[in-house]
Structures are given as C-alpha cells and as structure tokens.
Amino acid sequence: MTRSRIELGDVTPHNIKQLKKLNTVVFPVSYNEKFYKDVLEVGELAKLAYYNDIVVGAVCCRVDTSENSRRLYIMTLGCLFPYRRLGVGTTMLEHVLNHVEKDGNYDNIYLHVQVNNTSAIDFYKKFGFEIHETKKHYYKRIEPADAHVLQKNLRPAITNGIASPGEKNHHDKHSEKIIDKNNVDKHHNDKHA
C-alpha cells in the first residue's frame, strides 16, 4: 500500500538544503534567501514529504493578510517527477487544507500556476480549486508567461444574507467581499510557481 509510506516532516535549519535542492529541481522559478528564511518561521505551513524516508516533495505557504481578508497562499507545492501519482501531492495539500480548516479563519486559499501546467490544474481542481483569474505576463523569465490564479473559497457563499446549505458556517464579515485585484497584483514582483 503506497500511501502508508508517505510522511510529512518539519523544515528545519538542518534539512533546509534539501528543500532548496528539491525546489530547484521541481520549479522553473528560483527562490531567494528571504524565501527560505521565511519558510523556517511558518511552522506547519512548510513541510517536507518523505517517501520511504527519502525527501521527494515539499510544500511552502504563507499567510496573506491585506484588504481585510485573510488568505493562505501556496508558494510552492511540488513532488519529484518519478514519485508523482503516488499520493504525495495529496498528502501535502490535505495537510494544508486540514490546517486552514482547523484554524477556521481563512477566507480562501490560492496559488499561481503557469497556464500550461495541466497536471497541477487537474490536481488542484480535484480538491475544489477553480480558475479565479488569469494574469497576463505574470512570469518574467519563463514561457508561457501567463498565470492562472487557482483559488478555493473557504467561506460560505452568502445569497440574500443566507448562507447556502451544506457550506461551513463560519461567522464572516468578509463573505460578500469581491476579491480585490490589487490584493493579488501586489504579489506580481514576488513570483511563485
């Protein structure tokens, strides 16, 4: 049973070089020292994924609070090519989704993907993410340069002041807020996969 061999572990000063190596191999975008310094401070929002005790994947997120909304931004979530389709990505994303659910105070969770990254788009759609918008020329050094913003809303949709049935019943003063484009564009110079 392959799933039972997948484990997550903390990112620490001791193993951060493995995270850097993995991100260099998996992503076409490179990340600077500040990225890795911040990753060491985010606790459960950064994890290494192990397959039979070998590092094969990693997820790094940050909290984005601006314009009265609280969002979780997935900066990187990736798995080494030979270990894909074994549930490693699912284990990492479920960890993040459990974290935001337990917290109960996030409006949404989002990330950027290159528009041709169909495997990632299919992967995230399976977990309820949708293409929220498409940004032209988001990436400076890679082709295609356009990015989709994939987003999963974590608040109940409010219609006529009544939350739709079946949605989580968070008390939410931001539910009707339309996502401010500036809020997202703010990260334009802070490229993430």
**Shortest separation between residue 89's beta carbon and ligand COA, angstroms:** 2
Binder of ligand COA out of 87, 139, 152, 184 (CB under 6 A): 87
Region binding ligand COA by CB under 6 A among candidate stretches 11-19, 121-129, 137-145, 153-161 = 121-129
Rounded-to-integer distance, Cα 106 and Cα 154, Å: 7
**Shortest separation between residue 33's beta carbon and ligand COA, angstroms:** 20
Rounded-to-integer distance, Cα 2 and Cα 38, Å: 32
Smallest CA-to-CA distance from 73 within 98, 92, 96, 95 is with: 96
By the 10 Å C-beta count (0-12 exposed, 13-18 middle, 19+ buried), 40 is classed as middle
Given 31, 51, 73, 106, the catalytic residue: 73
Return the residue nearest ligand COA (CB atom).
89
Using the rule CB under 6 A, is 119 a contact of ligand COA? yes
For residue 50, indicate whether it is catalytic.
Answer: no
Region binding ligand COA by CB under 6 A among candidate stretches 30-38, 100-108, 120-128, 156-164 = 120-128
User: Contact letters (x/-) for ligand COA, 128-147, by CB under 6 A?
Assistant: --------------------
Q: How many CA atoms lie within 13 A of 129 on its CB side?
A: 25
Q: What is the DSSP string of 84-126?
A: TTSSHHHHHHHHHHHHHHHH---SEEEEEEETT-HHHHHHHHH
> What is the 8-class DSSP label of residue 187?
G
Given 112, 148, 187, 192, the catalytic residue: 112
* Tokens 């295609």, located at residue: 144
For residue 73, indicate whether it is catalytic.
Answer: yes
Using the rule CB under 6 A, is 123 a contact of ligand COA? yes
**Shortest separation between residue 58's beta carbon and ligand COA, angstroms:** 9
Structure tokens of 64? 């984005």
Task: Point out the residues that are catalytic.
Answer: 73, 112
Interface residues toward ligand COA, by CB under 6 A: 26, 74, 76-79, 84-90, 111, 113, 117, 119-120, 122-123, 126, 193
